[in-house]
Amino acid sequence: MAFSYKQGQQAENQAVDFLLSKGLRIVERNFRRKVGELDIICKENDVWVCVEVKFRRHSDHGHPLEIVDRKKLNRMIAAFNLFLMDNGMNPAHTPIRFDIVAINNDELIWLKNVTV
């Protein structure tokens, strides 16, 4: 279990480095509420971006992109709305985007503005 957690943290660190290299500003990591957890919260210009990081060492269990479904996205939306309200923002009037960074072995894929 600890090995899996460590791999997940390494994948998140890799995603953070990648996002920073693309000009995003990291605001918070591992935001947790009862409704769900957000891996990375960042800003790109005036847009708030919620990033889900998915990692697979082997594709035997499927590609990391296959993990995010409608249920997961709905939990992310609920948690992101709480983050925004906790920080004095109105989710209905705040530009937001949901992204996925999928890491499969050495391949990193960044999907912007994900919908399910």
11 lies in a domain?
yes
Q: Residue 75: what pLDDT? A: 92
51 lies in a domain?
yes
Host domain of residue 49: 2-111
What is the CATH classification number for the domain harbouring 78? Answer: 3.40.1350.10
Number of independent structural domains in the chain: 1
116 lies in a domain?
no
Q: Residue 9: what pLDDT? A: 87
Closest-CA residue to 45 (of 24, 69, 66, 28)? 24
Averaged in consecutive runs of 10 residues, what is the pLDDT profile of the chain (116 residues)? 72 95 98 95 98 75 59 92 97 95 87 84
Q: Residue 43: what pLDDT? A: 98
Is the pTM value of this prediction over 0.75?
yes
Q: Residue 69: what pLDDT? A: 74
